[in-house]
Amino acid sequence: MSRIGKKPVPVPDKVTATLEGQLIKVKGPKGELEFNVPKDVTIEQTDEGLMLKPVGDSKQARSLWGMSRTMVANLMHGVSDGFTKTLEINGVGYRAAMKGKDTLQLSLGFSHEVLHKVPKGVDVVVAGAKQEIVTVTGINKQQVGQVAAEIRAYRPPEPYQGKGVRYQGEYIFRKEGKKK
């Protein structure tokens, strides 16, 4: 039994959730999102919030139950508060800058500047005295995480000097260099 799936998803103030069969549409102050619940899971609106239940006792239904509940909870959190990922850039001469509204320009020690196109629905802000803090925000958790992962993938942190792009608070296991 899914412990996560048993809990109802509360609907916050200023957020409206409408059910159209297996499609749930959520509208809040930050925007509007929708999710198509798999056919192995039923969804209904109660006083406590939205309740999800598996159809039958198959392994497929039980597997999708907790995931569907988490997806619906992420919709609620996204339209009310939004999601944020913060990246730190470490290294001499490594920096980031916004070029226009939809392009992130990264100097990461390559012979060329790296230009990353920011998709619609995601905002990227560069801060810090040396332009080393990149904040990715949006209402869709998957999209925010994907953009942050793509930016980090250009120059992942290396274990010897710690240079590269890392998530804020990420621990990098450091290795000792060569000895004579």
Question: Which tokens go with 76?
Answer: 């609620």
Q: What is the pLDDT of residues 47-102, one digit of tens each?
A: 889 999 999 889 999 889 999 999 999 999 999 999 999 999 999 999 999 998 89
Bridge partners of residue 89, in order along the sequence = 165
pLDDT exceeds cutoff 70 at 163: yes
Give the pLDDT score at 2. Answer: 66
Domains 3-80 and 83-167 share a fold: yes
Question: Which tokens go with 22?
Answer: 């297996």
Answer for the pair 102, 121: CB distance below 8 angstroms, yes or no.
no
CATH number of 3-80: 3.90.930.12
pLDDT exceeds cutoff 90 at 177: no
Give the pLDDT score at 179. Answer: 85
Q: What is the pLDDT of residues 10-53, one digit of tens each?
A: 998 899 999 998 999 999 999 999 999 999 999 999 988 999 99
- What stretches of the chain adopt beta strand conformation (E)? 16-20, 23-27, 32-36, 41-45, 50-54, 83-90, 95-99, 103-107, 114-117, 122-127, 133-138, 164-167
CA dihedral 47, 48, 52, 54 (to 10 degrees): -90
Domain ranges of the chain: 3-80, 83-167
Which class is 83-167 in CATH?
Answer: alpha beta
